[in-house]
Chain A
Amino acid sequence: MAELGGDGGGKKKKGGKVRAKKGSTRIDMTPMVDLAFLLLTFFVMTTTLNKPQTMEITMPEKPKPGDEMPEINEKNVMTVVLADDNKVYWYMGITEPVAEKADYSAEGIRKILLQKKAELPKLVVLIKAMDESKYKNMVDIMDEMNISSMQRFALVDITDTDVQLVKEAQAL
């Protein structure tokens, strides 16, 4: 009430009475809880829980002039061409190869890779991607390498011969 002090001692008793009347100190926490949960919901919603996955690849250095190239038997070489029609074409060796068509499913190229790997323990896979093929295709084939735990594979530039072979296979 309007007690501003200096009123003399007479009122002291009354002040004591007021103190005695004080109710409980409990406050209604509901609005605070509402706010707390609102903030909680907001942060839960905005937090990005899943960090992006990555695929680590290490590319070989550019060969310096004078570097010796390791020689490999052409029988052990499998070439995989990623074509522009979301399909993959593959052939063995380099003498008169005939490209065969496969797709990116588990029944497609994965089966062939596993089969070839079982036949030839020293298999080397050359991945050649056409410029018009999609990035997805490249990631898919790298994935297949991972799944079939291929030890030796390389991402190399495509040649005209490969394009020609794919064209022939596509025409069939």
Chain B
Amino acid sequence: MARIAPPIDMTPMVDLAFLLVTFFMLTATAIPDEPVTVDTPSSVSEIKLPENNVMTITIDKDSRVFFNVDGQFTRAELLGKIGERYGIAFTENETKTFAIISSVGVPIGSLKQFLALNPEQRKSITQPGIPSDSAQNELADWVLQARLSNPRLRIAIKGDRDANYGTIKKVIDTMIDRKVNRFNLITNMEKGS
């Protein structure tokens, strides 16, 4: 005898599903696309990085330096200040582009061309990194102007585990020269042990 399945009321399940969808939608922050992949070293430290007001200095394994700061308003203001400092006038469009992209790793001189590219091109080109030598230290200006734009910034250094210490030292020295004595090193969880 064929039995007809009794109808199940799906309403509570749907309610729950949509509740979860809403929750994840609201809490989700899109993973920002970084120009380089950085494999951070592991440590036992369990301090979490704050969610906003973070300036990230990324150092990849080829010792290129990238700079990133969060907050669209901060970024827009920062670009204006950098332009003033270097005598480059950025258009409104360029400021808008700069506000929404993530890390930059080009010298300030070629920043205008970099901003003129479309997102795909920007992803495909290899960025040379921000000059941070003592002769031409643009990183110092980035840090200084970013802190002027947003005084509550915390500084995080995200180095690749295989980056040379020499480069890290250059970056840290740049910070200390600018009276920044406190910063965070981004690490990931210690595996095993």
Q: Does A129 contact B169, Cβ atoms closer than 8 Å?
A: yes
Name which of B41, B49, B162, B183 has the most chain A CB atoms within 10 A of its CB: B41
Report if A56-B182 is in contact (Cβ < 8 Å); known contacts: A129-B169, A135-B162, A138-B165.
yes
Q: Does B193 contact A46, Cβ atoms closer than 8 Å?
A: no
Q: How far is the CA of A162 from the CA of B192 in the complex (A)?
A: 34
Q: Does B21 contact A43, Cβ atoms closer than 8 Å?
A: yes
Q: Does A134 contact B161, Cβ atoms closer than 8 Å?
A: yes
For the complex formed, measure the closest distance between the CB of B31 and the CB atoms of chain A, giving whole angstroms.
6
Q: How far is the CA of A57 from the CA of B96 in the complex (A)?
A: 34
Q: Does A58 contact B182, Cβ atoms closer than 8 Å?
A: yes
Q: Does B45 contact A146, Cβ atoms closer than 8 Å?
A: yes
Q: Is the interface of B mostly helix, strand, loop or mixed?
A: mixed
Q: Does B188 contact A36, Cβ atoms closer than 8 Å?
A: no
Q: How far is the CA of A146 from the CA of B43 in the complex (A)?
A: 10
Cβ-defined partner of B165 (8 Å) among A46, A51, A131, A143 = A131
Q: Is the interface of A mostly helix, strand, loop or mixed?
A: mixed
Q: How far is the CA of A7 from the CA of B49 in the complex (A)?
A: 73
Q: Does B181 contact A43, Cβ atoms closer than 8 Å?
A: no
- Residue numbers in B under 8 Å from A106 (CB-CB): 193
Q: Does B176 contact A62, Cβ atoms closer than 8 Å?
A: yes
Q: Is B44 interfacial (CB-CB < 8 Å)?
A: yes
Contact with B along A48-87 (1 / 0, CB 8 A): 1011111111111110000000000000000000100000
Size of B's binding interface in residues, CB under 8 A: 54
Interface size class of chain A, counting residues whose CB lies under 8 Å from the partner chain? 35 or more
Q: Is B184 interfacial (CB-CB < 8 Å)?
A: yes
- Residue numbers in A under 8 Å from B172 (CB-CB): 59
Q: Does B59 contact A135, Cβ atoms closer than 8 Å?
A: yes
Q: Does A51 contact B48, Cβ atoms closer than 8 Å?
A: yes
Q: Which of chain A's residues has its CB closest to B26's CB? A: A43
A contact residues vs B (CB 8 Å cutoff):
29-30, 32-33, 36-37, 39-40, 43-44, 46-48, 50-62, 82, 106, 129-140, 142-143, 146-147, 157
Extra contacts, 9 of them, besides A82-B165, A142-B185 (Cβ < 8 A), are A32-B14, A36-B17, A36-B18, A39-B25, A51-B49, A52-B49, A52-B186, A53-B43, A60-B181
